[in-house]
Amino acid sequence: MFFKKINIWYLSSFLISLIVAIPILTVFSSFFDTTGNYSIILKNTFLYEYIFNSLVLLIGVLTLTFLIGVTCAYLVSFYNFPGVNFFKWALILSFAVPAYIYAYSLTAFFENYGTAFSILKNIFGEANYNSYIPKFDGMTGAILSISFSLFGYVYVLTRASFHYQSQNLIELGKNLGFSKKKSFLNIILPSARPAIVAGLSLVAMETLSDFGSVSFFGVSTLTTGIYNAWISFDDLALANRLSFYLLIFILGLFILENFSRKKAQYHTPTKSGLKKKMLIDLTGRKSFLAFSFCALVFFVSFLFPVLQMLYWTISFPKHLVDLNLIKLFSNTMLLVILSSILLISLSFISNYGNRVTRSKLLGVLTTFSVSGYAIPGIILAVAFITFISWFDNNIISFFGLKTIKSIFIGSVFGLILVYFIRFYSLASNGLKSGYLKINYSIDESAYLLGYSKLKTFTNIHLPYLKNSMLLIGILITIEIIKELPITLIMRPFNFETFATTAYIFASQDLLEAAAAPSLFLIIIASFFILITSRYILKD
Amino acid sequence: MKKFFLEIDNVTFTASAKNKVNNVSFQIENKGDIICLLGPSGIGKTTILRTIAGLERIDSGKITLNNRVISSNDTYVEPENRNISLAFQDNSLFPHYNVIQNIEFGAERNKDKKKNLNINEVIKFLHLEHIKDKYPHQISSGEAQRASLARSLLSNPDLLLLDEPLSNIDQNFKEEIQVKLKKILTEHKITTIIVTHDSYEAFYLGTKCGIILDGQLKQYDDPYNVYHFPNSIEVVNFLNRGTLIPAKVTGENTLESLDLGTIKGNFIKHYPKGSDVKLLIQPEDLEHDDGSNLKLEVVDRQFRGTNFIYTLKTPSNLMIPVFVHSHHIHQHEVDEKFGIKRPINIDHIVCF
């Protein structure tokens, strides 16, 4: 029976899943490698600091994103107050600001003689304001930057859960004589728990894999440890070993997220069961407080970094003039277009292969390989280089062939391949959720009407999934525009994007020069977020 | 050797590791015959259709259509190459096409064949005119089922498979559609296998009926024979059309029952004199007679429109169903005595 299932679709899906699984397998296999002396030094010195810092960062970010995300979602889902319809979508614009750019803005504003100082000086005249201006650097800065750029995950998922929450459930609370507070704590919040946990898990994974902002603030975490082990100490095996520890941690979170997402399905009512929720009109002080909270979050998470970057771009026009905007834009879009085409087409093949063969083995392999999204970009890049080096040294040289390193390392091709591995789950899961809406009997009806598998794919699936495809393409675009560590490590020499240009200037303490590329990055990402906001808020 | 239009030869149909229909053999003799498969839910009827359509494979046996082996241990014709159409029980319309576009998918197939059904005629008979431009999510499950049926009919297949085709359809349409469906299938000689759990539907539509119980094809026969000459106690219980009472064979044409006395009739199978048997009493076997001295107690009365079914309790606590025409001069209430005409004559005696 097993061999009967093997066909071109099966083989293609198997191969795709295997490619995506390479970094995970490489990291796991590194556990058996010997590491250099640095591992002993690290164990005696910084390892526990790395772990401690990672945990503090994680707890801080989770607390803050939970408070901001759930409160915003609750306010816009259950109440009517001025600007509520604006805030519903405006709050997701925070997705356009990567944590590292937020970090630049935070520093630029609050640093000695920074923007805050200039504002105070212009209003109140010359004085020593520096000692009165709070400094958000180090761990505090990292927690704030990451929280304000990631709370959107909690907001979007919790809001969706509140949105689909049955009106009957709320009426039931009223019927039982619950106060608003008791209804919220005993009914609304517990039923949205899986969505909140799912959002927090995504935040946790992104936090642990953050490189840009922690390295900017000089906070040593496991991720920066991996980078240091590889770049500063040239110990690839140790970098992989550290990745292994981080991966175990992240896989735990991934399982938690997966588990809670499965539960979340129980909270999706049927079409007929969804009754339009009655929004409560807020007036007076309560209305003002709700408005102020959402306005503050919107300002701090989006307007603040945009204005800061805009201010510096205008203040230092020389950097804008020096910037080769066309080159940066074309480089970024080249990566976006090639990656989107690769990701969407291969995800289609893999999903369709899974659907056609219904093989359990393939299903398990696909699930395993999509867990790649839980792996920090930096680990992916390091693991990919490790694998290519191993393959080149052992397999290619064994056959006496020419080295392939230059094809895969420091090339656009290699960069796109790692993007592919990093964002495969985004594309694959996106298509999968589209496919879940197509009953198997639809395919079978097509076969029975004389359609071949390929014709069913092109005539039935493609037209049906074109919206999903577009949405996935845009989500990939947003992610790639913001992506930093993979691009930084894998890009060809002198090949820059908005993200890498901003990072390089910032790492040279030229924050004012980082402003223009950061601003363009935010503008482009915002544009794509806005055209997909309807879908993001819906699902 | 006789050639059949469709031959299922010793095939095991596997729905899951636990749910199988084993070693099934039956044939459809002529093009245009209609076969109905009856059985309880979850027994594997749909799996049989899916396997014939090529959506499931087989490990043993052979399926031959029009003298071509389409499934066996070493042969497997892809579903798209079988020219078999299956109308699913649930909504299988393409969600991004409206009803008429969905139906046209069917009409497109085999459009060069002669004797094509007229699309407008099918739409009219299935009452689909008013939903032609609607999308599948905008119509009811009954309407979706009718649209799916139209698509399958219009695809002009060699073999049409219908999985509970009328299960979601409103009662007021159901009988009308049954009549027209039978007319269309017969007129166009469309060979069909229908899966249903409604025995009346099966008896009306089918030229032959198969009863699937306990993982086996228990009986495959004309509807009349399945009803009147069930070949096992399981079939009797499934059709729920009578009661088995203990009796002793007393002669070539007679039996003796403790509760009903002497019963005469023609045995459909020979039993030696003196044998203890279980006699099938169907509702139409006994006649009501107010003047009879054989009186049984009424425990229930069901009004079925054209008739009543009285359930009577015998002295040994057996429950016996009896038909009475609903125009009968008077009705009997629960706990009243109800007379049974004597001597009891049953046209054909079914015993086990």
Asked whether this chain's domains A1-32+316-539 and A54-315 adopt the same fold, the reply is: yes
Q: Where are the beta strands (DSSP E) in A262-417?
A: 280-281
Q: Which residue has the higher pLDDT, B127 or A32?
A: B127
CA distance A162 to A189: 9
Q: What is the Cα–Cα distance from A438 to A81, expressed in whole angstroms?
A: 39
Q: What's the residue count for chain A?
A: 539
The whole-angstrom distance between B193's CA and the closest CA on chain A is 15
CB contact (8 A) between residue B53 and residue A448: yes
| Tokens 């845009």 sit on residue | A474
Interface test with chain B among A356, A443, A445, by most B beta carbons within 10 Å: A445
pLDDT for the residue numbered A260: 61
Q: Residue B84: which of A442, A448, A460 has the nearest Cβ?
A: A448
Query: B310: domain CATH number?
Result: 2.40.50.140
* Whether the Cβ atoms of residue B44 and residue B20 lie closer than 8 Å to each other: yes
B195 & B140 share domain = yes
**pLDDT for A113 beyond 50:** yes
Tell whether B38 and B128 lie within a shared domain. yes
B223 shares its domain with B289: no
Residue B81, domain CATH: 3.40.50.300
Is B331 a member of any domain?
A: yes
Given B209, B235, B261, which residue is the final one in a domain? Answer: B235
In a domain, B1, yes or no: no
pLDDT at residue A261, as a whole number? 56
Structure tokens at A519: 């601003």
Mean pLDDT across A141-158: 92
Considering the domain architecture, whether residues B202 and B276 belong to the same structural domain is answered as: no
Better-predicted residue by pLDDT, A4 or B339? B339
pLDDT value of residue A125: 81
Which amino acid, A317? P
Domain ranges of chain A: 1-32+316-539, 54-315
pLDDT in tens, A348-369: 888 888 888 777 777 777 777 7
Q: List, in order, residues 6 or more apart from B177 with CB less than 8 Å away.
A: B125, B126, B146, B166, B169
- Residue B160's pLDDT is what? 93
Examine the pLDDT at A264 and tell me if it is beyond 50.
no
pLDDT range class, residue A274, cuts 50, 70, 90: very low
Q: Return the pLDDT at A327.
A: 92
From residue A278, alpha-carbon distances to A166, A181, A345, A348, B203 in Å are 11, 17, 43, 40, 53
Residues B149 and B48 in one domain: yes
Residue A458 has pLDDT above 70, yes or no: yes
The model's confidence at residue A148, banded by pLDDT at 50, 70 and 90, is very high
More confident residue, A271 or A125: A125
Kindly determine whether residue A452 and residue B94, on different chains, have CB atoms separated by under 8 Å.
no
Same domain, B333 and B252: yes
Across the interface, of A4, A437, A460, the residue whose CB is closest to B94 is A460
pLDDT at B161: 93
CB-CB under 8 Å, A448 with B85: yes
How do the residues of chain A divide into helix, strand and coil, expressed in percent and rounded to 5? 80, 0, 20
Q: Using CB atoms, which residue from B76, B88, B96 is nearest to A464?
A: B96
- Select from A465, A473, A466, A411 the least CA-distant residue to A438: A465
Q: Is A516 a residue whose pLDDT tops 80?
A: yes
- The domain boundary residue, chosen from B235, B267, B288: B235
Residues B191/B152, Cβ–Cβ less than 8 Å? no
Write the DSSP assignment of B78-121 as a string of letters. Answer: -GGGTTEEEE-SS--S-TTS-HHHHHHHHHHTTTTSSSPPPHHH
Distance from CA of B178 to the nearest CA of A (A): 23
pLDDT at site A537: 67
Lowest mean pLDDT among A128-137, A200-209, A433-442, B109-118: B109-118
CATH numeric code, A1-32+316-539: 1.10.3720.10
Q: Give the pLDDT mean for A263-268.
A: 45
Q: Give the pLDDT score at B92.
A: 83
Same domain flag for B165 and B259: no
**Residue A44: which pLDDT band, with cuts at 50, 70 and 90?**
low
Question: Which domain does B251 fall in, by range?
Answer: 242-349
Which of B200, B235, B270 is the last residue before a domain boundary? B235
> In Å, how far are A90, A204, A441, A533 from A298, measured between CA atoms?
7, 22, 46, 15
Report how many domains make up chain B.
2
On the question of pLDDT at A167 being above 70, the answer is: no
Residue B85 included in any domain: yes
Residues 6+ apart with CB under 8 A from A241: A30, A31, A33, A35, A39
Please report which confidence band the pLDDT of residue A272 belongs to, taking 50, 70 and 90 as the band edges: very low
Looking at mean pLDDT, say which of A64-78, A105-119, A207-221, B303-317 comes out highest: A64-78
Nearest chain B residue to A438, by CA: B95
**Domain membership flag for residue B212:** yes
Strand partners, B325: B307
Same domain, B187 and B331: no
Instruction: Indicate if B317 and B262 belong to the same structural domain.
Output: yes
Residues of B in contact with A449 (CB under 8 A): 80, 85, 105-106, 108-109, 151, 155
State mean pLDDT over A231-236.
Answer: 74
User: For tokens 């480089």, what's the residue?
Assistant: A331
Closest in A441, A447, A464 to B88, CB measured: A441
Domain A54-315 top-level CATH class: mainly alpha
CB contact under 8 A, B80 and A447: yes
pLDDT of residue A3: 52
Regions in chain B scoring below 50 on pLDDT: none
Q: What would the DSSP string read from start to end of A117-132?
A: HHHHHHHH-S---TTT
Assess contact for B10 and B62: CB atoms under 8 A.
yes
Pair (B109, B253) in one structural domain: no
Please indicate whether, in this complex, the C-beta atoms of A464 and B86 are within 8 angstroms of each other: no
**Contacts with B53 from chain A: Cβ below 8 Å:** 444, 448
Q: Please check the confidence at residue A77 and state whether its pLDDT lies above 60.
A: yes
Q: What is the distance, to the nearest Å, from the Cα of residue A312 to the centroid of all Cα atoms in its chain?
A: 27
Cβ distance B92 to A460 less than 8 Å, yes or no, reads no
For A435, the closest chain B residue by CA position comes to B95
Question: Is the model's pLDDT at A273 over the cut of 50?
Answer: no
Chain A CB contacts of B93 under 8 Å are 442, 445
DSSP string, A351-366: HHHHHHH--HHHHHHH
- Are both B184 and B251 inside the same structural domain? no
- Which has more confidence, A53 or A430? A53
CB contact under 8 A, B151 and A445: yes
Q: Which of A442, A448, A450 sits opposite B94 (nearest CB)?
A: A442
Residue in the block written with tokens 């940066």: A328
A45-59, A225-239, A468-482, B77-91: least confidently modelled range: A225-239
Q: Are B274 and B340 in a shared domain?
A: yes
Here the ipTM equals 0.73
- Cβ–Cβ below 8 Å for B53 and A460: no
Distance CA A169, CA A162 (A): 11
